[in-house]
Amino acid sequence: MEEISYICEARELKQYFPIRSDYTVKAVDGVSFGIMPGEVFGLVGETGCGKSTIAKDLCGIYNPTSGEVLYKGRVVSGKAADKEYVERRKKETQIVFQDSAAALNPRMKVEDIVLEPLLIQQGIPDKKAAIEKCVKMLEDVGLGAEHLGKLPGELSGGQRQRVSIARSLMVDPQLIIADEPIASLDISIQAQIINLFKEIQEQRKFAMLFVAHDLSVVRFISDRVGVMYMGKLVETGTTEEVFNAPQHEYTKKLLSSITIPDPRRERARRVV
């Protein structure tokens, strides 16, 4: 069995969006990094820096303008894509979107939403066993059988995001791309969802790209961190390296902006 260094990798990835004949937005501009099997890679930066665009490139929603996306060492983007591995990526990669209200079909019950990936990828020859797996998955994310018949509009924001996570786990993915999954939630619910992600990832050992702009969250959940600025990846390293000894000036500015939950220390904090 061949050894795989990265489960997913970006090489000189570029994603440009032509707006007018004389103006093009360079959302991602020459980004390279890889995600190891079983690790959490945190991608952090300000709004509009290209984080979500990279997430959509890696899972195949966008086709890169140039550069390559690799899955388990094989190219899965552009004309040189390995079709077998493109299909493998589809089956083994799931995404959790930022806005759970938009990510869930408002006319589908929770049962149908969570079962949908199973239905598409494997079919459901045994409905009873599928329902049992669905209930088990909902219980794993803090819900239960009583939610099966509910519509997304009957759930809170935190509950909807838990349904999204349960749906992503139904096919036992090897890579989950979490695109700012807590940005639209209340602070107290954010903490619950982050703890849930960490607990499930440690249990199931899948790799995860965790996109966020909250540095404290990224520090808590990530093994390695990449810092984005204006479409470029300006710094990467282990979580401790980036937070304790930042090298790039932009990273230092980001870290200096973290609010300290102590009024006296906060007043004395120096923002770079």
State the CATH number of the domain containing residue 58. Answer: 3.40.50.300
Look at residue 93 and give its three-state secondary structure: strand
Per-residue pLDDT, averaged over 78-107, amounts to 92
Q: What's the average model confidence in pLDDT over 83-105?
A: 92
What is residue 4's predicted lDDT score, i.e. its pLDDT? Answer: 54
> 36 lies in a domain?
yes
Report if residue 53 sits inside a domain: yes
233 vs 64: CA distance, rounded Å: 16
CA distances in angstroms from 103 to 36, 92, 95, listed in the order given? 27, 19, 10
Mean pLDDT of all residues in 173-202: 90
Q: Is residue 61 part of a domain?
A: yes
Residue 155 belongs to some domain of the structure: yes
Q: Residue 236 pLDDT > 50, yes or no?
A: yes
Is the CB of residue 243 less than 8 Å from the CB of residue 252? no
218 within domain boundaries: yes
- pLDDT for the residue 1: 38
Task: Kindly state the percentage of the chain with pLDDT values over 90.
Answer: 71
- Token pair recorded at residue 140: 């794993």
Q: Is residue 1 part of a domain?
A: no
Report the range of poorest mean pLDDT among 121-125, 138-142, 145-149. Answer: 121-125
Q: Evaluate whether residue 3 is within a structural domain.
A: no
User: At residue 88, does pLDDT exceed 60?
Assistant: yes
Q: In terms of Cα–Cα distance, which of 175, 176, 39 is closest to 164?
A: 176
pLDDT digits (tens, 9 = 90+) for 32-68: 999 999 999 999 998 889 999 999 999 999 999 999 9
Tell me what the mean pLDDT of segment 168-180 comes to.
94
Lowest mean pLDDT among 94-108, 171-185, 248-262: 248-262
137-174 exposure pattern, b = at least 16 Cβ within 10 A, e = fewer: bbebbebeeebbeeebeebebbbbbbbbbbbbbbbebb
Number of domains in the chain: 1
Kindly tell me if the per-residue pLDDT of 115 is higher than 60. yes
At residue 2 the predicted structure's pLDDT band, cuts being 50, 70 and 90, is very low
Whole domain around residue 65: which residue ranges? 8-268
pLDDT at residue 213 tops 90: no
Q: What number of CA atoms fall less than 13 Å from residue 146's CA on the CB side?
A: 5
